[in-house]
Amino acid sequence: MSTYRASPFSVSKTFEFGALPPASAPSEMSIAQLPTGATYRSASFGYRGGSLLEPREFSMTATLIKHPKGDLLIDAGFGRDIAQHLAKLPLFFRLLTRYSLNKTAREQLQSSGYDLSRLRAVLLTHSHWDHISGAADFPEVPVWIPPAERSFVHGEDFTTASARSIKSLHFEEYRFDARPYLGFAESHDVYGDGTVVIVPAPGHTPGSVIVFVTLPDNKRYAFIGDLAWQLEGVTEQEERPLPQRLADAEPRLVRENLAHMAAISARYPEMTIVVAHDPRSFASIPTLVPKP
Ligand SMILES: [Zn+2]
């Protein structure tokens, strides 16, 4: 049994990008994953054509980027008050959502002996409950979002009620420069060395972004947030089966950005596409080692 599979969607745009953009990563730069919990769903929930009978664990994972100019968390996963954050969402969604909470990002950082003063910001792929919850555990650390996402949080959309309920968050806006990156018209180079480059990828939310990371060994990642919910979204270019307006602010843009990332992935298979809720995409990223 599987969800209805639409005929492959057509995107009229073609995507043009040259060689992989250069990056000069300092040797101290590194990356680690902090798995904070999971929700339990089926493949059919993740992408069209997925089986109703195939369970899928949806990862809720923060990613630590260590950089000598200040560290970042890409998304924050589930925080200590996740039950309260989930409670802000509508009943139908809560009924659909069974979850487990592991150690939070803050707890994992602390038990590894991490110096929290190194953390420069939480960089959100978007502001939904399952990405922002853990940011509430770092009231001293700013949360980076572009202006479009900030307006979305401060609006009335039901999907950002959790974000609005966390009074301790302080948002810092960043803006994009008219500097193309892998076919995206604009980008924001966080450190100015090409190692962490954010591009706008609106659709799931108006200010959703993709974060490209390049490490000293030249390994490359694209953190695509919830552009897709499972890897098949990119590998098979399959959209979410949920009634579209329920899952995505602008489904047409999700489709376009999915096609764009599928094109990048086909052209540069060495780039790891990290789908926020697919644990398989974190396989090559180490976890933190707790201090004895
Ligand atoms: Zn999510």
Q: pLDDT-based confidence at 6, cuts 50/70/90?
A: low
Average pLDDT, the chain: 92
Ranked by mean pLDDT, the top range of 7-16, 42-51, 192-201 is: 192-201
CA–centroid distance, residue 27 to ligand 1 (Å): 32
User: Looking at residues 168-186, what average pLDDT do you find?
Assistant: 96
At residue 30 the predicted structure's pLDDT band, cuts being 50, 70 and 90, is very high
> Alpha-carbon distance 204 to 225, whole Å?
9
The residue ranking higher by pLDDT, 107 or 4, is 107
Cα torsion 111, 31, 189, 36: sign: negative
**More confidently predicted of 139 and 292:** 139
- The yes-or-no verdict on residue 47 having pLDDT over 90 is no
Residue linked to tokens 């572009």? 146
**Residue 52 pLDDT:** 85
Q: 272 or 233: whose pLDDT is higher?
A: 272
Q: What angle do CA 197, 68, 202 make, to 5 degrees?
A: 20
Query: How close is the Cα of 114 to the center of ligand 1, in Å?
Result: 26
End-to-end alpha carbon distance in the chain: 47
pLDDT over 90 for what percent of the chain? Answer: 77
Helix residue ranges, H only, 30-171: 43-46, 82-87, 91-96, 105-111, 129-132, 147-153, 161-165
Q: Which SS3 state, helix, strand or coil, does residue 247 take?
A: helix
What is d(CA 83, CA 151) in angstroms, rounded to the nearest whole number?
Answer: 25
Instruction: Tell me, in angstroms, the distance from the centre of ligand 1 to residue 19's CA.
Output: 31
Query: What pLDDT score does 291 carry?
Result: 87
What's the rounded mean pLDDT across residues 205-224?
Answer: 98
CA–centroid distance, residue 26 to ligand 1 (Å):
31
Structure tokens at 96: 């659909």
Check residue 191 and give left, alpha or beta (phi > 0: left; psi -120 to 50: alpha): alpha
Residue 156 is encoded by which pair of tokens? 């009335």
Q: How far is the CA of 229 from the centre of ligand 1 (A)?
A: 8
Q: Give the count of beta carbons closer than 10 Å to the beta carbon of residue 198.
A: 24
pLDDT for the residue numbered 3: 55
- Average pLDDT rounded to a whole number, residues 121-147: 98
Cα(128) to ligand 1 centroid in Å equals 6
CA dihedral (150, 181, 201, 269) positive or negative: negative
Per-residue pLDDT tens for 227-268?
999 998 888 888 777 766 678 888 889 989 999 999 999 999
Give the distance (Å) from ligand 1 centre to CA of residue 282.
15
Assess contact for 182 and 17: CB atoms under 8 A.
yes
Rounded distance from Cα 61 to ligand 1 centre (Å): 10
In order of 18, 117, 223, 264, 265, the CA distances from 15 in angstroms are 10, 40, 19, 9, 12
Identity of residue 42: S
Which band of pLDDT confidence, cut at 50, 70 and 90, is reported for residue 45?
A: confident
Residue 21 CA to ligand 1 center (angstroms) comes to 28
Picking from 7-11, 99-103, 194-198, 264-268, which range would have the lowest pLDDT averaged per residue? Answer: 7-11
As a whole number of angstroms, the distance between CA 50 and CA 46 comes to 7
Distance of alpha carbon 226 from alpha carbon 238, whole angstroms? 13
State the average pLDDT over residues 172-190: 97
**What phi, psi does 118 have (nearest 5°)?**
-80, -15
pLDDT value at residue 236: 84
Tell how far the Cα of 17 is from the centroid of ligand 1, in angstroms: 28
Highest mean pLDDT among 16-20, 158-162, 245-249: 158-162
Alpha-carbon distance of 180 to 97, in angstroms, equals 38
CB 4 within 8 A of CB 46: no
* Residue 265 confidence (pLDDT): 94
Domains of the chain (ranges, CATH numbers): 30-282 (3.60.15.10)
Distance CA 17, CA 267 (A): 9
Q: How many angstroms is it from 10 CA to the middle of ligand 1?
A: 25
Nearest to 105 by CA among 140, 124, 87, 80: 80
- Using one digit for the tens of pLDDT, what is the confidence trace for 67-115? 999 999 999 999 999 999 999 999 998 998 999 999 999 999 999 999 9
**Which has the minimum average pLDDT: 8-17, 24-33, 228-237?**
8-17
Cα(24) to centroid(ligand 1), Å: 31
pLDDT at 11: 72
